[in-house]
Amino acid sequence: MAEKLIGNAIIGQSGGPTCVINQSLVGVVEEAQKHAEIKNILGARHGVQGMFKEDFIQLKSADPAELEAVAITPSAGLGSVRHKVNADDCGRLFEIFKKNEIRYMFYIGGNDSAETAHIVNGLAREAGYEFRIFHVPKTIDNDLRETDHCPGYGSAAKFVALALMGDNLDNRSIPGIKIDIVMGRHAGFLTAAAALGRKYEDDGPHLVYLPERPFSLEQFATDVERVYKKLGRCVVAVSEGIADENHEPIAKKFINEVDSHGNVQLSGSGALGDHLAAFVKKSLGEKTRVRADTFGYLQRCFPGCVSEVDAAEAREVGRKAVDYAMKGNIDGSVIINRLSEPGKGEHYMSEASLTELENVAKYTKSMPDEFINAEGNNVTQAYIDYALPLLGKIPQIGRLY
């Protein structure tokens, strides 16, 4: 029987928002509300920013119906923050936690949030202050270590898969070359999801470029030309994070650019796609129909096509964090274990479990080799088997020819 630790709980959300990060928030709150030893449940507005300012929302008596409405709302309901926390900040945080009698912390975020939790936890241990701190994972990039996949990824992946499903149909209807730039920073998981809506043999994306493989403009143009000559059209998914053999981001070549007036700096958001399109047009002839779209922020908070699997798992990791906190002097990062084996036709199943904070903190992971084809310009069936169950239901499509 665990010893009861009486005190307040603090919850924060950090980093880029997702469609299901509020499911995790509500999972924590609804579970924490059940336990008398958690006196106040403090929601910190905008993550560490709200912790520094002691800008808290009281959640102990939050109405279940209101919480449910928040749970199904994309983006961080408490507000988020991009502030990278250093060791000094962690010291200040710990002082604020002690002052506010905080004994439980639930921090929903990526590897940086796990790192913050890890450092604060170390300070509490040194000070002999019993403090149960949990990192609750979220990221559309799917780049956290230890966990099979990250809450938030399935919904963003579904958006990208549906976007490419539609774009492939569009491209089949009015043929040409189409380039789509997908988020995901230095991990290719989100771009890989472009392939998850393919149904027929000739469906696009026909080419998928990931940051895990060196990108060559010339090879890219050659690949596109080959597909275009065969099918009369070509749909390409490209990660925003593609880099050359020296790990220099391709996008970097196009920023700090001056426009025709000689004085305006490009934000760079649409630049990578526009320049890849221009390069292909130059290679294949000016009359070739080439278009580029950069999906941008749409990918992470689009309501209305959230993955049911992702939503349920995000809720569960939140609930589970509180479960663990109630079990004794434990801390850690909640992870998802897959119980079914991908590609074996088994019904998808998963469970939440726990790992050490330091296993998730700081470093990220990339697409494993078995998910990328030999040519480095597409995903493998192993990736599709891994990722498809995470999307939940996807629309069905039909063809006349």
By the 10 Å C-beta count (0-12 exposed, 13-18 middle, 19+ buried), 128 is classed as: exposed
> Is residue 122 near its own copies by the rule CB under 8 A?
no
> Is residue 318 near its own copies by the rule CB under 8 A?
no
Q: How far is the CB of 260 from its own copies (least distance, A)?
A: 5
Residue of the chain from 5, 39, 62, 145 that contacts its own copies (CB under 8 A): 62
Q: How far is the CB of 217 from its own copies (least distance, A)?
A: 11
Nearer to its own copies, 59 or 187 (CB): 59
Interacting residues with its own copies between 132 and 191 (CB under 8 A): 158, 162-163, 165-167, 169-170, 172-174, 178
What is the pattern of x (binds its own copies, CB under 8 A) and - over residues 13-42?
x--xx-x-----------------------
Tell me 13's DSSP state: E
Q: Which H or E run contains 22?
A: helix 21-32
Report which of 67, 103, 73 is spatially closest to residue 326, judged by C-alpha positions. Answer: 103
Do 42 and 11 meet the contact criterion of CB atoms below 8 Å apart? yes
Catalytic annotation present for 141: yes
Residue type (1 letter), 147: T
Stretch in the footprint of its own copies (CB under 8 A) among 90-98, 118-126, 273-281, 382-390: 273-281
> Is residue 392 near its own copies by the rule CB under 8 A?
no
Nearer to its own copies, 165 or 361 (CB): 165
Distance CA 243, CA 164 (A): 22
Q: Which two tokens stand for residue 295?
A: 């999906």
Interacting residues with its own copies between 66 and 85 (CB under 8 A): 66, 68-82
Q: How far is the CB of 158 from its own copies (least distance, A)?
A: 8
Do 118 and 305 meet the contact criterion of CB atoms below 8 Å apart? no
What is the pattern of x (binds its own copies, CB under 8 A) and - over residues 217-256?
-------------------------------------x-x
Number of H helices, E strands in the chain: 13, 11
Nearer to its own copies, 74 or 241 (CB): 74
Stretch in the footprint of its own copies (CB under 8 A) among 241-249, 324-332, 337-345, 391-399: 391-399
> Is residue 398 near its own copies by the rule CB under 8 A?
yes
> Is residue 267 near its own copies by the rule CB under 8 A?
yes
- The DSSP result for 361-401, as a single string, is SS------GGGB-TTSSSB-HHHHHHHGGGG----------
Interacting residues with its own copies between 281 and 300 (CB under 8 A): 281-282, 290-298, 300
Q: How far is the CB of 111 from its own copies (least distance, A)?
A: 18
> Is residue 394 near its own copies by the rule CB under 8 A?
yes
Distance CA 229, CA 275 (A): 22
Residues that bind its own copies (rule: CB under 8 A) add up to a total of 83
> Is residue 259 near its own copies by the rule CB under 8 A?
yes
Q: Which two tokens stand for residue 392?
A: 């939940």
Nearer to its own copies, 105 or 162 (CB): 162
Stretch in the footprint of its own copies (CB under 8 A) among 57-65, 322-330, 359-367, 370-378: 57-65
Question: What SS3 state is found at 210?
Answer: coil
Do 84 and 327 meet the contact criterion of CB atoms below 8 Å apart? no
- For 294-328, give the secondary structure using H, E and C: ECCCHHHHCCCCCCHHHHHHHHHHHHHHHHHHCCC
Catalytic-role residue among 141, 203, 223, 310: 141
Residue of the chain from 94, 106, 209, 302 that contacts its own copies (CB under 8 A): 302
SS3 content of the chain, % helix, strand, coil (to 5): 40, 15, 45
- Report, as residue numbers or ranges, the catalytic residues: 141
